[in-house]
Amino acid sequence: MSKFRRILTYILDLGVNPKRQPLDEEDLKLAAYLIDLGESIDKGDFDIEMEQHLSNFEDDLQDLSWTPEDDECHKIQMYPDVVHLPGNPNMIQFANGEFVELDKVKEAVVYFGSKTGLKNNGSKVRPSLEQVHTKFRFIRNRNHMDKLREYETLGSTKANRKSNLEFISMELEKETLTNYAQLTNSNYKFQTRDETLKLLSLVWRQLCSPKLEKWARYAWVAAGYDVPRPASFETPAQLLFPRGVAGDCTMHGCSSTSFVKCLYCEKLFCFEHFVIDHHNC
């Protein structure tokens, strides 16, 4: 039991438990001080004063190399073992050769940290292995419980460079291409296996363009590696979807409005000729 809890238990037992645990001289002084403080609070005979001391000014702490992309990178939420399987891009290799849906792992992490209260040693109360296994069958031993604890701690931190780029590519595909497909091409079944694989391949091909080399190199810096920071660069969104991207599709005889600019041939394409026909120059 911690020193504070021991003293607090002693105070609460006064006049109630004659067999209360004895305290040493130093702890008795602290107990007497806390009792006096409590009596003053009961009488309303106390004032609260707060002081703030500044050792640095905001300008002194400013990172002169900061860019808005830094904040966006720190918002990334990523688990370090996320893998992309055909037709299942959001899987976690929870154990060797065992893949679990990312959403299921997130649910397990939330349940693992759902209990309130602390144990006598000060650690957080956790559900037992049996309780977790009942709800999540892929949790079978203490090593799996430790993995949940690791995810609870590291789940909101940046992952490595490869995972960062894969995550960003998934966000680009999900937020832009799939949303555009839903609005303008309702008959396009992008959730099917073949179309999902083609779309991921298409997005990754664009992200591998030499024009994004500085952006990709910046991922090393954003992930915390001690490497030279690249000069200013344009993001995939700026290059793929620039101002004026809504023009005439490059393909001969096509009257559809373009929505994307290929990073290799620098031509404008509509959804049909870029995604459905799987443009690959």
The pLDDT value given to residue 172: 63
Q: Residue 260 pairs with which residues in a beta bridge? A: 269
Inter-residue contact 132 to 149 (CB < 8 Å): no
Distance between the two ends of the chain, CA-based, in angstroms? 68
Inter-residue contact 159 to 120 (CB < 8 Å): no
Inter-residue contact 261 to 241 (CB < 8 Å): yes
DSSP annotation of 199 reads H
The pLDDT value given to residue 253: 92
The pairs formed by 79-88 with CB atoms below 8 angstroms and a separation of 24 or more are: 79/105, 79/151, 79/154, 79/155, 79/159, 80/154, 80/159, 80/160, 80/163, 82/159, 82/163, 82/166, 82/167, 84/166, 84/170, 84/200, 86/193, 86/197, 87/193, 87/196, 87/197
The pLDDT value given to residue 269: 94
Distance CA(72)–CA(65), nearest Å, equals 15
Distance CA(84)–CA(166), nearest Å, equals 9
The pLDDT value given to residue 226: 76
pTM score, whole prediction: 0.40
pLDDT per residue as tens, the chain (281 positions):
788 888 888 888 877 777 777 788 888 888 888 888 777 777 776 666 665 555 554 444 455 555 554 554 444 444 555 555 555 556 777 666 677 888 888 898 889 888 888 777 777 888 999 999 999 988 988 888 888 888 887 654 344 455 556 556 656 655 677 777 767 777 777 678 888 888 888 888 998 899 998 888 887 777 777 778 888 888 888 999 898 899 999 999 999 999 999 999 999 999 889 988 989 88
Tokens describing residue 81: 């073992």
The pLDDT value given to residue 131: 92
Domain ranges of the chain: 3-37, 79-154, 161-276
The pLDDT value given to residue 162: 54
DSSP annotation of 143 reads H
Distance CA(171)–CA(177), nearest Å, equals 10
Spatial neighbors of 118 by CB under 8 A, at least 6 apart, are 124, 125
Look at strands 82-85 and 88-95 and give their pairing. antiparallel
Distance CA(112)–CA(128), nearest Å, equals 9
The pLDDT value given to residue 156: 43
Spatial neighbors of 252 by CB under 8 A, at least 6 apart, are none
Could you give the 3-state DSSP secondary structure of residue 94? Answer: strand
Distance CA(1)–CA(121), nearest Å, equals 6
If residue 88 lies in a helix (H) or strand (E), which one and from where to where?
A: strand 88-95
Among 70, 76, 16, which residue's Cα sits nearest to residue 235?
A: 70
